[in-house]
Structures are given as C-alpha cells and as structure tokens.
Chain A
Amino acid sequence: MSGDQVAALRSLIEQVRPVTASHERTLPVLPALEQLLPFRGLQRGTMLWVGGGPGATSLAFGLAAGPTQAGSWVACVAGREFGWASAAELGVDLHRVAVVRSEPADWAAVTAALVDAFDVVLCGPDHQPERTQVLRLAARARERGSVVVAVGGDGRSGARGRARPWPGVDVRLDVDDSSWDGIGVGWGALRGRQVAVRAGGRHGMDRTRRVDLRLPGDGGIEPVDGARPPGAGDGTSDGVDAEVLAFRARPA
C-alpha cells in the first residue's frame, strides 16, 4: 500500500467512525496504570481479570481508584476479606464504594443487579462462578456499559491456591516478580513493593506487555523510576501502537 492510499484510508476511517467510538467510553484510571490498559482506561462494557502472584488485590484496588476519584460508584461482591484501609491508601474514595455480602447462591442475581447501576463491579475471590454465570455477567456488563473486575487473589485460604482465571475476559493482568523493600531481617517495616504486571487480552492487547510498578510506592501506586521506556524491550507496545492495533481489531 502506498503512502497516499494509507492516508486516504485513514481519512475514510475518520469519516465513517461512529460519533462515540467504544474506546472513548472509558473510565479514567490512575496515571501509573494507564499503560496497562487498552485506550489508557477501563473501557466500558468489558471484563477484566486480575490475578497472578501476591499483589493482585492491591492492583484491583488501584484499578477501582481512578473511577471513584472521578465520581463513579464501585460495588464489591464476594470480597469479605478485602482490607478497605489498604484500598483507601491506594486511592479509592471510600465514599463511592458499596460492599455486598451475599451467599454464593445469590451471587448471580446480586452481580446482575449491581452491573445495571454501578460503573465498576469488583468481584472478589470468595466465590468461583460457573462458566455460564461469567458469560452471562459479561453479556450484561457489555449491554449496560459497566466494567467488571474479577480478582483472583489468594482467596479464602492459601491452601486452596490461586483462583482460576475467568473465561472470556477482555483484559487479563497478572502480577509477578514482587519484591518488598523497607523490611530487613529483624529491622525496618514493610514500606513498598515492586511488581511486574503482565497485561494481555483481546482488542489491542493480543501482544502481552510488561509494566513495572511500585504497588504501593511511597504515595500510592507509582511507575518505577527509570523503568524501560514504553515501546522498548520484550514485546511491549506503547499506547499509540495499541490504538492502531485496536483499529485493526475493531469489527467493521
């Protein structure tokens, strides 16, 4: 394809694009997390999975922080063990959070009701939904334009192991390689943690990218100083590339 053909195609894309492209319907996230997500925010109507090693719960709180600061409401189900003091430290506005304690049997009905009205629904690891339940919830979220964040933390017991990833998620974030600082052998105290987050999924996320974060740093979630520049290294793509990829992936 020659240069002017590409230019013509680009102008055609501009002309035929809908008034509100789906990637414009996003909820803002904390600046440090923008690189992890397609379109640099939580795209409405999608489902995210946050799992991996230690740090998954903190990352999920971090994802919820941006929307609450922008005035969105966040509901949380099946997260009996979540430490909301930690969520507040990571930037969640607790005045925009509702916590629902339901029995596993009520999970599907409760999440369906919440997805109707809340911008973000945080599903904790206390309940492992069936595949059909997840797919139904995903369809409902897509229709209502809310974001479902499933947390595959350690669950109720370390013995049971990490939760299985949900099927059909749009974005999958896995926390890896965590290391704590501030604590020694008999001295100091836990101060901050460095983790690597691997982000993958559909719609512009088909290449896994890796982002290093301080989770938490001294002032909430921070990018790692001197981290490799976006776009360099192991298959990482920066935001611009992601958008181009997304154009390719968007159905006609």
Chain B
Amino acid sequence: MFPTGPVRSLAVCVPDFEAVAVGRPASTPVVVVHGNRIRAASPAARAHGIVGGLRRREAQSRCPSVEVHDLDESRDVRSFEPVLSALEELAPRIEVLAPGRCVIPTRGPSRYHGGDRALATLVEEHVRSALGDEFVCPVGVGVADGPRAAQLVAAESIRTDTVIVVPPGATAAFLAPLPVAQLRLIGGGGDLAELLGRLGIRTLGHFAALGAPDVSARFGAVGRDAHLLVTGAGDRPPDVVDPPDDLRVSVELDPPVDRVESAAFSAKALADELHAGLAASGLACSRVAVAFETVGGDRLERLWRDEGALSASAMAQRVRWQLDGWLRSGHRHRSTDERGDGAIRVIELFPDEVTVDAGRQLGFWGGSDDGTERALRALARVQGLIGHESVLVPERSGGRGPADQVELVAVDSVDVTQRVERPAAPWPGAMPAPAPALVWSELRPVEVVDADGVGVTVSGRGHISGAPAQCRIAGGAAATVGSWAGPWCSDERWWDPVGHRRRARLQVVLETATGPTAHLLSLESGVWWLEATYD
C-alpha cells in the first residue's frame, strides 16, 4: 500500500537543460529552437536578454552572435544520463520527468546521508560535477512534502541560488508568497495559472485561501489537484490507486538488438499493449517503469513520471529516451561492452502509479481522426525500418530562398494531431510566387554568358553586366536563354562572419529539347549555381 501522507521528495531542476546539452563552452551564447520559438537559452544568451518563447529572429537581433541549434531530444537524454548515473549513487529510486528534471523520494536516502539538507547539498554537488565544470549553469534543488511541491521549491531555489529545504508541514506556508504563474511547472497548470492571473489571484496563498468545493466546481480536476498542493493537504491526487500486478508487459528480443531504432519499434508495440491494458481497467498511468535486460545480465530500470497521464506514444517516447541514453551515451558497462553482450534482450514496462482515468475531452472541431491514426501507425513502422530521423513532415518557416520557406522536421518533434498554422509573415526580399517545384539539394555550377560569350556578373549595386544569352549547366550542353528576369539581390546575416551570405538570384527560361525550362540561378562568390527548377 502507499503511505497515506505526501511523499517527502527532493526535486532537481536544471533550467535550459536543452541548451546545456548542446555542449558548448559557457561563454558561447547558445539557444535551442523548436518550432521557430526559443525553447532554451544558455546563461550567456540570457545575459543578452534572450528569454524563452521569443522568435528565432528576435533572439538573433538581440544577440547576433548567438548559436542556434534545433531541439534534439535524444541529445538531451544522452547528456542527462551521466547526471542520473551520478544521482543513482546517492539514491536508489529516481523518477525522471524530462531531461533536466527529476524527483527523488527522500525517506531512505535522507536517513542514510544524515538529513534532508545533507542529501540536498550532496545532490547539488553530484549534479554539478556530472555536468562538468565548463557549464556554469544554475541548478535548482528543493525538498518539500510531495514531488510536485518539491518542483516548485526547486524552481524557487534557482532564483535564490541556494538549496532550499522546506521543513515537514511547512510547505503550504512556503508556497504561499509565490506567484500563481509557478503553477505552470506542474502538469496541466499552464492554463490554470493564466486564468487565475486574469481573475486577480496573484499568489499561491490567495489561491489556497479559496474554498476547496468552489475551486473544484470552477476549475475542475486540474484546479482541485493544484489546490490540494498549495494548501498542503496532500500532494498526491486523491484518485491514485494501487497498480494492478497483471499489467506488466515485456517483450523478449530475439536476436538481441543494439540499435535504438529496432528496439524502439518493439517498444512502441509494448507501450500500446500496456496502454490498452490500462484503458480496459479504466486507468491511466502517471508513472511508468521501463526496464532493460542485456545479454550479459545487466538490468537497467528507470522510472518516468508525468504529471498528467502518459499516453501510449509518450510511454514509447520515454522508452526511446532511455534506449538512447543506454545505447548511445557509452553508459553501459565497459566490461559487458568488451564482451559484446551489451545488446538488449528484454524490454519490460510496468505502471508504477496509476490514477483513475478521467477521460480525454476531444476537441469540439474533431481531434485526431481515423486516417491520422492510421498514418501515424504506418510512419512508426517506417521509423522502425529506417530510423526515426528519416520520417519528416513539412513545416512552414520564414526565408527568402525557395529552400527556406518550408523546412522538413522529424515527425516526432511535432504534435501531428494538433498542428497550428502560423500566419505567413511577409519576407522582404523573398522571391515572388510561384515557388519552384524542385529545389536541388546538391548545387551544380552554371556557366552564364552574354551574347559575346563573356561571363555575366552582378555588381555590388545589383546591376547585371550583360543580358544572359546562353547557360551551360554543370558542363552539359549549352542552352539558349529565351527570357530572363532579375537579379534579386539579398544580403543575409551581414552581421555574422560565418552565416553571412550575399547572393543575387536570376530566373531564366532555357530553350531545351523538352520545351522551355525555367530555372532559378543564384550567384554567390562569383559563381552561378543552379538552385531550383520550376518543374
């Protein structure tokens, strides 16, 4: 049985862990971008006024020298793995929320290490040394009654830059002066925090002062859980039940695998099976344990917690994270590696904490439909065949050139069922519509000459030296230029010594055997390139 009171917990929070995971020196400003918005920024970038949620361009205008990286979850997990290994020396049970955030129940470890404060100080030291000396990033460590309260305390500890240990029973008093915006740190609390702010409730203390029945009636299950948290009445949602034993699922891999893709494919099926089992019992899982067994007999078990309920795809994602950390970070034991038996033989999933499934409200305008579900299943299968970075979806992004306007992103990095179309902002200097139907991934040089056979150039002021008369693509046959237009000049990122590009683009229609063919040529550093074709 579960203990009845809140589980005293320690939370570790490394803000902007995604930026830390990139692995650049602390002096380099680094941002990690997801969906054109800043997801994380290194302290050096923060010093330039870059905050989360900014648009990529805005961040670049605040700090022109900033390095922009795309979000890469497997990189984040690989970088977090050493931290987790370091923490495993202190405490046997670690619940991972996401890369950069984890929770440790303190009852046993605190007794062993001599109290909550001693444990918290040790944890902070271990995290810092695991991250390495070159990363001078804030680390938040907080101890409080219950895992969610501990996360709020850890966030507060980043602000004050000290380890905070809230004495037992004093959690509500500690939380009271914090702003309600902090509720966004706990599952599903973002909307609630915004709503409370608009209703004039500024601090968690004001929220706690509301009557529980009123909160329940007005803000539903999310409001009720948050209210229990801030009043200190209990950190565990009241509908947590003991996980049934028969929901443990496992798969034996024969032959054993040491590639993430093939193991992740089996894991997806396993997650689906577990999810179906839970759904049949009317349960949802908020903490799942993922265990691997290797050929050499090693066992790695890890707990993954989510404040909401873990969906089947979220579980599969956690398994893939763990696989990434295990197979790619070099964490597996050297001895087994040398014997070549570090391959994974068994994957096991079992729910560690389940709640009564409150159901999921589908969007009024229809959420994911049957066709989308089918498509996603097929894509998961293809990912299993050829790797998950090979399955992409187009996403609009800004840019002047034809290749910049739509970028292909990994299907795992977007929520395919709830995609939002960002309004297309005008790009000054962009090529006029129509866009070319073929955009060449390998550029080929083009020889462009005028009627006298002299190479055509474009001056710094955007004047073309002569009318193009003939083009020869990559040393092929010369073709006559029927008509042409341009040049369109662009001088992009002139402030950046590395990313600076000056280009002039020209549209030409060539007379070929198959008919007039329109191409987009671009002149860069004195050479014309075939950039795209209007096929």
A188 to B508, CA, bound (A): 11
Against A, the Cβ 8 Å flags (1 = close, 0 = not) of B360-396 are: 0000000001011011011101100110001111111
The secondary structure that dominates the A interface is: mixed
A54–B385 touching, CB < 8 Å: no
The distance from the CB of A69 to the nearest CB of chain B, in whole angstroms, is 13
A159–B476 touching, CB < 8 Å: yes
Q: Return the contact of A100 from the options B377, B382, B507 (Cβ within 8 A).
A: B382
Asked if A84 is at the interface of the complex by the 8 Å CB criterion, the answer is: yes
Asked if B421 is at the interface of the complex by the 8 Å CB criterion, the answer is: yes
B534 (CB) vs chain A CBs: closest residue: A190
A102 to B395, CA, bound (A): 19
Interface residues on B, range: 35 or more
A116 to B374, CA, bound (A): 9
A188 to B518, CA, bound (A): 14
A53 to B533, CA, bound (A): 13
A56–B535 touching, CB < 8 Å: yes
A98–B392 touching, CB < 8 Å: yes
Q: Return the contact of B379 from the options A61, A98, A179 (Cβ within 8 A).
A: A98
Interfacial chain A residues near B509, Cβ < 8 Å:
180, 183, 190
Asked if B255 is at the interface of the complex by the 8 Å CB criterion, the answer is: no
A114 (CB) vs chain B CBs: closest residue: B378
Interfacial chain B residues near A158, Cβ < 8 Å:
473, 476, 517
B405–A85 touching, CB < 8 Å: yes
Against B, the Cβ 8 Å flags (1 = close, 0 = not) of A151-189 are: 001101111001000000000000011111001111111
Interfacial chain A residues near B382, Cβ < 8 Å:
100, 102, 110, 113-114
A103 (CB) vs chain B CBs: closest residue: B386
B390–A101 touching, CB < 8 Å: yes
Asked if B325 is at the interface of the complex by the 8 Å CB criterion, the answer is: no
A85 to B437, CA, bound (A): 8
Q: Check A188/B485 contact, CB under 8 A, given A89-B434, A94-B396, A98-B375.
A: yes
Q: Return the contact of B406 from the options A57, A88, A118 (Cβ within 8 A).
A: A88
A162–B514 touching, CB < 8 Å: yes
B371 (CB) vs chain A CBs: closest residue: A73
A/B interface sample: 11 pairs, CB < 8 A = A55-B535, A73-B375, A81-B439, A98-B393, A99-B393, A118-B375, A154-B533, A157-B474, A185-B484, A187-B485, A193-B518
Interface set of A (CB-CB < 8 Å, partner B):
52-58, 61, 71-73, 75, 80-89, 94-95, 97-103, 106, 109-110, 113-114, 116-119, 153-154, 156-159, 162, 176-180, 183-193, 216
Identify 18 new A-B residue pairs, CB closer than 8 A, beyond the known A71-B371, A98-B411.
A54-B533, A58-B535, A73-B371, A75-B375, A83-B439, A88-B435, A89-B433, A98-B393, A102-B390, A103-B386, A106-B386, A109-B385, A117-B378, A162-B514, A178-B516, A179-B516, A186-B484, A190-B485
